[in-house]
């Protein structure tokens, strides 16, 4: 009897341990998926905002042709939390919301909603409908919903949300492009054409080599020479290199291999203003390089100063970035840069806002840094903090 009880107890213990191991494995998988999504989302969000007309011209030419580009697009980043805070349980933000003007008239406002989806999601079409509905309640009926499907499932192509109940029906359709279907267009494209051909090519290279870093290295060695040979504006070159650096991740030993390759290539093409990007993380180098480059360019007031400042800053930051820890170092440095930027923008009245930086996520730190680079309006900065504080309070209540 005691022997049987001991076996039963041992079996129950093994079952419990098995459940705990499975739960731990599931948590790790969810964390990896979240990190993978963030590693894709952030560079896409940045380059869409920096090269927005090119984005629409490449993926959605009909939308691009309907916009009056004499009026600058307005990115509604600071308004997203209060508009969409209840969608999908209050913990999901749309990737980009942009207010533009239509060619049909001066007062014809269009709100463009953009989603970059990097994985299969059975609720994606419904989420697109919910976001469109919320935005329509705020801005009126002229809301355009656009989806870029950057996942690896060739058969998954959501484009319509439908529901029916006892004679009531609803059908919502949105525009969609599938990156997997653009491969030939991007590889055969005119190298002087739209920069998003390079973005798509890099993204597809990453997808194809997700589990094979050495194959990724070979893809990079194929992409960079073609990119360096293209005739592209300097401002676009910088944004594309930042995107490449952010998304192309390699083990340390392969980074060294790529450094040597890129150094030889850079010497051969004779473009000294192009920085070397071979870090496994975006890290301190790129951010500090951008900041120093922009500051020098503003002080000198000429394009030459901008390029020289960017080059000097990125090269210096690259050396420092290799010595940094991965996530912890990146977050601490990001917060420090944001603090310095806040002190400059708010003229010594930044105390309360600096104190709240510790409550921000890494994604919010990155978003705030980019926001501070683009605005000097104190009221807009205060509104950014107010909207995020209100969102956190709402989430805490739930």
| Average confidence (pLDDT) over 175-183 | 92
Q: Which two tokens mark 249? A: 């991740």
Burial of 117 (0-12, 13-18, 19+ CB in 10 A): buried
Residue 378 pLDDT > 50, yes or no? yes
Residue 337 Cα distances to 257, 283, 340, 341, 349, angstroms: 31, 12, 5, 6, 17
Nearest to 317, CA basis, from 288, 291, 293: 288
| β-pair type (160-165, 96-101) | unpaired
Per residue in 217-240, pLDDT (tens digit) is 999 988 888 888 876 777 788 788
Q: What is the pLDDT of residue 34?
A: 47
Nearest to 68, CA basis, from 98, 44, 103: 103
- What stretch of H or E contains 61? helix 61-66
User: What's 290-312 look like in SS3?
Assistant: HHHHHHHHHHHCCHHHHHHHHHH
Whether residue 305 contacts residue 234, with contact meaning beta carbons closer than 8 Å, is answered with no
Give the contacts of 213 (CB within 8 A, at least 6 positions apart). 250, 251, 254
| C-alpha span between 43 and 291 (Å, rounded) | 17
Phi/psi region, residue 117 (left: phi>0; alpha: psi -120 to 50; beta: rest), is beta
Q: Which two tokens mark 161? A: 């949300």
Per residue in 292-321, pLDDT (tens digit) is 655 555 555 556 655 666 666 666 666 555
Which has the higher per-residue pLDDT, 92 or 134?
134
Q: What is the pLDDT of residue 38?
A: 45
| C-alpha span between 344 and 294 (Å, rounded) | 15
Q: How far is CA 151 from the centre of its chain?
A: 15
| Average confidence (pLDDT) over 199-212 | 90
Put the strands of the sheet holding 109-117 in their side by side order: 74-75, 96-101, 109-117, 143-149, 175-178
Burial of 99 (0-12, 13-18, 19+ CB in 10 A): middle
Please give the model's pTM, rounded to 2 decimal places: 0.60
Q: What is the pLDDT of residue 273?
A: 41
Residue 336 Cα distances to 43, 79, 246, 281, 332, angstroms: 21, 25, 20, 18, 6
Would you tell me how many other CB atoms lie within 10 Å of the CB of residue 160?
Answer: 13
Place of tokens 């705990």: 20
Would you tell me how many other CB atoms lie within 10 Å of the CB of residue 348?
Answer: 7
| Average confidence (pLDDT) over 31-60 | 76
């Amino acid at each position: 009897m005691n022997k049987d009880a001991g076996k039963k107890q041992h079996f129950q213990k093994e079952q419990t341990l098995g459940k705990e191991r499975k739960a731990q494995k599931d948590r790790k998988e969810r964390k990896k998926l979240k990190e993978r999504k963030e590693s894709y989302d952030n560079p896409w969000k940045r380059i869409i905002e920096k090269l927005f007309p090119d984005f629409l011209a490449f993926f959605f030419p009909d939308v691009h042709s309907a916009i009056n580009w004499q009026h600058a697009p307005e990115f509604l980043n600071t308004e997203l939390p209060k508009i969409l805070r209840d969608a999908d349980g209050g913990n999901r933000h749309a990737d980009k919301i942009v207010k533009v003007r239509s060619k049909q008239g001066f007062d014809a406002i269009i709100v463009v909603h953009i989603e970059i989806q990097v994985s299969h999601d059975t609720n994606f079409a419904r989420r697109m409908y919910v976001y469109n509905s919320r935005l329509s309640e705020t801005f009126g009926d002229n809301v355009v919903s656009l989806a870029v499907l950057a996942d690896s499932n060739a058969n998954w192509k959501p484009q319509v949300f439908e529901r029916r109940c006892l004679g009531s029906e609803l059908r919502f359709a949105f525009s969609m492009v599938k990156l997997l279907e653009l491969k030939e267009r991007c590889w055969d494209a005119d190298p002087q054409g739209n920069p998003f051909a390079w973005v798509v090519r890099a993204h597809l290279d990453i997808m194809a080599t997700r589990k094979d870093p050495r194959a990724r290295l070979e893809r990079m060695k194929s992409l960079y020479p073609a990119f360096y040979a293209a005739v592209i504006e300097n401002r676009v070159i910088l944004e594309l290199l930042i995107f490449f650096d952010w998304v192309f991740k390699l083990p340390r030993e392969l980074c060294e291999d790529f450094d040597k390759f890129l150094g030889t290539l850079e010497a051969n093409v004779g473009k000294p203003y192009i920085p070397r990007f071979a870090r496994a993380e975006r890290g301190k180098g790129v951010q500090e390089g951008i900041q120093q480059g922009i500051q020098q360019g503003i002080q000198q007031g000429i394009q030459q100063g901008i390029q020289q400042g960017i080059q000097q800053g990125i090269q210096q930051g690259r050396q420092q970035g290799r010595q940094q820890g991965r996530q912890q170092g990146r977050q601490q440095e990001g917060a420090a840069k944001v603090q310095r930027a806040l002190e400059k923008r708010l003229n010594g009245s930044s105390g309360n806002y600096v104190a709240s930086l510790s409550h921000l996520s890494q994604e919010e730190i990155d978003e705030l840094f980019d926001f501070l680079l683009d605005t000097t309006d104190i009221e807009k900065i205060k509104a950014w903090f107010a909207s995020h504080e209100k969102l956190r309070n709402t989430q805490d209540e739930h």
